[in-house]
Structure 1
Amino acid sequence: MVPTLGINVRTHEAGTVITIAGELDCDTVPHIRRAINALDLRGHTLTLDFTDVTFMDSTALNMLLTTRLRAREQGGTLELLGLRPPALHVLYITGTAGLFNITDHPKNTRTPAH
């Protein structure tokens, strides 16, 4: 069975939200990495929306760690939104959860007041 992956990139004034759906593994992570690498993270927040991610392996963890480092080096931030228990488990058992800003409420997707 071929894994399916959905990626939606939305840019806002304060940063970018990448919404990911499906499994994050060695077959799908390169697609997400390409989307992230195309972004200028200088002074911006990159939010990765994991609400619809059903699986995450060590390849995805490596991507998160390298993205976090790149964001920090460029004066930006990385925010992980909507992590489900399986993805959270990967972060906790590897001792990396404390390295990330994990939230249920995105900071850079505010809509302007009418």
Structure 2
Amino acid sequence: MNDLNVVTQQYADRTVITVAGEMDLHTCPALAQATLVIPLNGKTLHLEMSGVTFMDSSGLNFLLQLRRRLLADDGQLALSGLRGHPARVLHLTGAYDLLVPGDTGAPDGDTAKPAGAPGRDDLAAAGISRTEP
């Protein structure tokens, strides 16, 4: 059984959701529900993901849809603590730069682009363009 733990903390200027466990087809609906009940009103939603050990395409889709929803509401999505498998998923799909703008990765290399993963410049050199949602 896949487990996901979600802890929400609200502050005047932002909401912080700490996520731990696996973000997949079975657990993402609970995470989505947690974000739907939070009144965002143009604030930043901060997802602290250092406890996320696995993320499949459902987790990626959730993050992209959440970002779109927040932007439509004049809010922002801020991700932190990405490492291991979830960071690799975002790098491999090209979503890392979109979801974690300006971050070059942790000094210890946990969130660095995996070897062999195509970066934005690699894709452009191959004549492949990336469209952003």
Q: TM over 0.5, yes or no?
A: yes
SS of corresponding position for 2:86: helix
Contact 2:53 2:84 in 1 (8 A): no
Q: Which protein is bigger by CA-based radius of gyration?
A: 2
Contact 1:41 1:75 in 2 (8 A): no
Distance 1:27 1:80 in 2: 21
1:78-114 CA-to-partner distances (Å, cap 9, x unmatched) read 000100121111111111111113669xxxxxxxxxx
Distance 1:80 1:14 in 2: 16
Would you say how many aligned residue pairs link Structure 1 and Structure 2?
103
Specify the alignment match of 1:56 in structure 2: 55
Amino acid at match of 1:77: Q
Specify the alignment match of 1:39 in structure 2: 38
Specify the alignment match of 1:88 in structure 2: 87
Amino acid at match of 2:63: L
1:3 aligns with 2:10: no
Q: Gaps spanning 5+ residues in structure 2: where?
A: 106-133
Give TM-score scaled by structure 2 length.
0.73
Contact 1:25 1:57 in 2 (8 A): yes
Worse-matched range after superposition: 70-79 or 40-49: 40-49
SS of corresponding position for 2:62: helix
Shift of 1:40: 2.1
1:4-37 CA-to-partner distances (Å, cap 9, x unmatched) read 2111000001110010110110010000000011
Distance 1:21 1:85 in 2: 13
Distance 1:32 1:63 in 2: 9
Give TM-score scaled by structure 1 length.
0.85
Say which structure, 1 or 2, has more relative contact order (CA 8 Å, 6+ apart): 1
Specify the alignment match of 2:128 in structure 1: none
After the TM superposition, which segments of 4 or more aligned residues of structure 1 sit over 6 Å from their partners? none
Give the alignment's Cα RMSD to 1 decimal.
1.4
Q: What's the % identity of the aligned pairs?
A: 39
Q: Gaps spanning 5+ residues in structure 1: where?
A: 105-114
Q: Where is the strand percentage greater, Structure 1 or Structure 2?
A: 1
Contact 1:6 1:20 in 2 (8 A): yes
